[in-house]
Amino acid sequence: MDDTLELLQERNKNRDLSVIISVCNEEETIGSLLSNVQKLYPKEIIIIENGSTDKTVGICREHGVRCFSYPHPIGHDVGRAVGAKKATGEILLFLDGDIIFQPEELLPYIEACSGDVDIALNNLNPFYSHSSMIDAVSMAKAFLNRLLLLSRLRYSSLTAIPHAMKRTAAEHIGFSNLAVPPKAQAIAALKGLSIQHVQGVDVFTTNKCRKYNSSSTNHVEEMILGDHLEAIEFVQSVVGKRGYLYDTIRLRKFLNETKKLPD
């Protein structure tokens, strides 16, 4: 064990951390992921298992985690909401079971939420190496951030893992709203919570290719776009149809006309 990992363990062994992992048929990766996450010495690891037909449940139980198992899929991001509500830690770290993260990759999220940051997002921006990567989902993420005056985040979003948040942030957002990540991000922004992105982890090349996200009809993409529409509608219901975007054309016309007014 190298000095970096020893330091990592020492800094985290007393941390009030809950790690929440959504899984479905992850027997190839979940064991290694859990072994790595346990090196963080979290208060608890919560597994939300739904609809698995392989050995996923057995592997999770072998690792002594809190495993909540559902016989059928409960929804793409619903596990986050369920896990957050069941968590007892003051910092909630969200992962998916199909990507094996290294302990060192997860530390920046924990450290950020140990300080003044309420929500720490995965900074995916450096991994957009070519304009062809900017798909409809990426544009939706960027537009929502712009609508919320969070343009600096660009493509960073609660839609992507890893991400972490203070438990108090989850309470302000509402646990059930975590099932719709873009809406949860919008609620957090409108409530004035601190949202930052931290050192990014590449989840583009490591994300498992499944039938539902690789076919000509990408149902996950459709769902995520729908989630962003729901988030945008929510923002409009709170602050108006333009969100926080200024109508610069009308504003410029107004300013020009006022200059012509007599004293």
pLDDT of residue 212: 46
| Residue 149 DSSP class | T
Q: What are the pLDDT tens digits along the chain (263 aa)?
A: 456 556 656 655 546 999 999 999 999 999 999 999 999 999 999 999 999 999 999 999 999 999 999 999 998 899 999 999 999 999 999 999 999 999 999 999 999 999 999 999 999 999 998 888 899 999 999 999 999 999 999 999 999 999 999 999 999 999 999 999 999 999 999 999 999 999 989 998 876 655 544 445 688 899 999 999 999 999 999 998 888 887 666 656 656 666 655 54
Q: Which helix (H) or strand (E) holds 18?
A: strand 17-23
- The CA distance from 98 to 157, in Å, is 19
The reply to whether omega before 108 is within 30° of 0 (cis) is no
- The CA distance from 167 to 83, in Å, is 12
Angle between helices 30-38 and 103-114 (to 10 degrees): 50
Could you state, in order of their start, the residue ranges of all structural domains in the chain?
Answer: 3-259
Do the Cβ atoms of 26 and 51 come closer than 8 Å?
no
Do the Cβ atoms of 223 and 79 come closer than 8 Å?
no
pLDDT of residue 140: 97
Tokens 């890893």, residue located: 162
- HSE of 224 in the Cβ direction (CA atoms, 13 Å)? 18
pLDDT of residue 164: 98
Tokens 């048929």, residue located: 25
| Residue 154 CB burial class (10 angstroms; 0-12, 13-18, ≥19) | middle
Whether domain 3-259 has CATH 3.40.50.300: no
- The CA distance from 189 to 252, in Å, is 28
Q: Which ranges constitute the DSSP H helices of the chain?
A: 3-12, 30-38, 56-62, 78-86, 103-114, 136-147, 167-173, 181-190, 219-239, 248-259
- The CA distance from 73 to 80, in Å, is 13
pLDDT of residue 252: 66
pLDDT of residue 142: 96
Q: CA-based angle 110:138:224, to the nearest 5?
A: 80
- The CA distance from 108 to 113, in Å, is 9
Do the Cβ atoms of 145 and 154 come closer than 8 Å?
yes
pLDDT of residue 112: 96
Q: Encoding tokens for residue 26?
A: 């992850």
- The CA distance from 177 to 96, in Å, is 18
